[in-house]
Amino acid sequence: MTTATTEALVLTDRINRIEPSATMAVVAEADKLRGQGIDVVDFGAGEPHFSTPQHIKDAAIAAIHGNFTKYTAVAGTAELRDAIVHRHATDFASDYRREEVIASVGGKHALFNAIQVLVGHSDEVILPVPYWVSFKDIVRYAGGNCVLLQSDESQGFRVTAAMVARLITPRTRVIILNSPSNPSGAVMSPEDMTEVMRLAHERGIWVLSDECYVYLNYTGKNFSVGSLRAYKERMVVLGSLSKTYAMTGWRLGYALAPAPVVSAMAKLQSQSTSNPTSIVQKAAVAALNGPQECVEQMRRAYIELRDHVVSGLRSIPGVTCVQPEGAFYAYPNVSSFFRGGKVKSASDVAGKLLREAHVATVPGEGFGTSDHIRVSYATSKSELDRGLERMRKFFAAL
């Protein structure tokens, strides 16, 4: 009996519906090459290159010394939930209460819980393309069907309310928004986000707004749907400390949602992970209540890196790249090389680029498009230059 046959016999239909995360796969392959002593330039990982700010680390150390090392309430301590609510109200004029927020083990965990609570068998979930890898699989795991919204590259992959409206059917249960977007960096206008919320509210459809990159918006119009108080009863806002405070490894995310949704998410969390790590919760309070200059400093640094990488990519003959308006990814189009015969897809390009030029990127297929690769520019300028030079030589030889 082959391994595949064995797996089909012993594993559930539920687990067979999903794929491993494409971004995690690239990280693993790049690590393997590094383990062989190969010098890999890493544009694959979706995480800040900055260190977690010192005052946040100090709070975690103090928590350990103070023996804050036991179980907490499943949804997070009152102190943390209040800090999340306060930060969001200060920055986005929202008006959530403690009962309307849950802290989870990263934004991905909050998203997973929210989808399990809101999406049932055969429910339709509108999902803009390109999408962050986990949305599709988490919806599938819940038994839902993704209805893909194709955005337009010539319009910077921007999603509009009119595009969303065209896909609404009587089976639509949830609309997922992700602005700024991973992987395209596209930012929806506040007007379009407001109109999507209005449409959804009118029809009793949930909007799940993944705002993990909300502080990395370079348009000058930083916006959260959480500010639209009139539409709160159909809205879930997902947030994360991972990117905002360079805390990817700490695992702290949250959801702001109506109290019954938060209670249901806490029920699920109580039967899986229980509370996020107590020590991390103390660090998160320090991040949210402490000085915010670090956030603005990182945001400004990303803008410089964005400009540097986009002009570098655009200078490579055959590569085109729309201007990302947020997050820390560029999403260049490499389809002109498919005609040469050496590569036929984005996966081919990313695979060859890693194996032959030792530059890690993520192929677009994982994000629902086949013409692009994702380049994370959350790294130093000198590392960007090294990678761009390797890419220039690689593409010239294709």
Ligand X SMILES: Cc1ncc(COP(=O)(O)O)c(C=O)c1O
Nearest distance, CB of residue 165 and ligand X, angstroms: 23
Nearest distance, CB of residue 228 and ligand X, angstroms: 20
CB burial string 186-206: b at 16+ within 10 A, e below: bbbbbebbbbbbebbbeeebb
| 394 to 75, 243, 311, 373, 391: CA distances (angstroms) | 49, 31, 17, 14, 5
Question: Which residue in 26, 44, 45, 46 binds ligand X (CB under 6 A)?
Answer: 46
Nearest distance, CB of residue 301 and ligand X, angstroms: 18
Q: Does residue 130 interact with ligand X by CB under 6 A?
A: no
Distance CA 247, CA 216 (A): 14
Residues 160-219 that bind ligand X (CB under 6 A): 178, 182, 210, 212
Give the dihedral sign, CA 269/12/205/135.
positive
Q: Does residue 127 interact with ligand X by CB under 6 A?
A: no
Nearest distance, CB of residue 45 and ligand X, angstroms: 9
- From 56-64, 85-93, 104-112, 188-196, give the range in contact with ligand X by CB under 6 A: 104-112
Measured at the CA of 192, the angle between CA 306 and CA 293, to 5 degrees, comes to 40
Distance CA 233, CA 279 (A): 32
Distance CA 99, CA 80 (A): 12
Q: Does residue 132 interact with ligand X by CB under 6 A?
A: yes
Q: How many residues bind ligand X (CB under 6 A)?
A: 13
Residues 254-273 that bind ligand X (CB under 6 A): none
Distance CA 156, CA 302 (A): 19
Nearest distance, CB of residue 178 and ligand X, angstroms: 5
- CB nearer ligand X, residue 109 or residue 201: 109
Question: Which residue in 49, 81, 108, 372 binds ligand X (CB under 6 A)?
Answer: 108
- CB nearer ligand X, residue 107 or residue 128: 107
Asked if 207 contacts 235 with a C-beta cutoff of 8 angstroms, the reply is yes
- CB nearer ligand X, residue 176 or residue 313: 176
The mark string for 338-367 relative to ligand X (x by CB under 6 A, - otherwise) is ------------------------------
Distance CA 100, CA 239 (A): 13
Q: Does residue 325 interact with ligand X by CB under 6 A?
A: no
Instruction: Tell me whether residue 383 is exposed, middle or buried, using C-beta atoms within 10 angstroms of its C-beta: 0 to 12, 13 to 18, 19 or more.
Output: middle
Asked if 130 contacts 368 with a C-beta cutoff of 8 angstroms, the reply is yes
Q: Does residue 248 interact with ligand X by CB under 6 A?
A: yes
Chain positions contacting ligand X, by CB under 6 A:
46, 106-108, 132, 178, 182, 210, 212, 240, 242, 248, 253
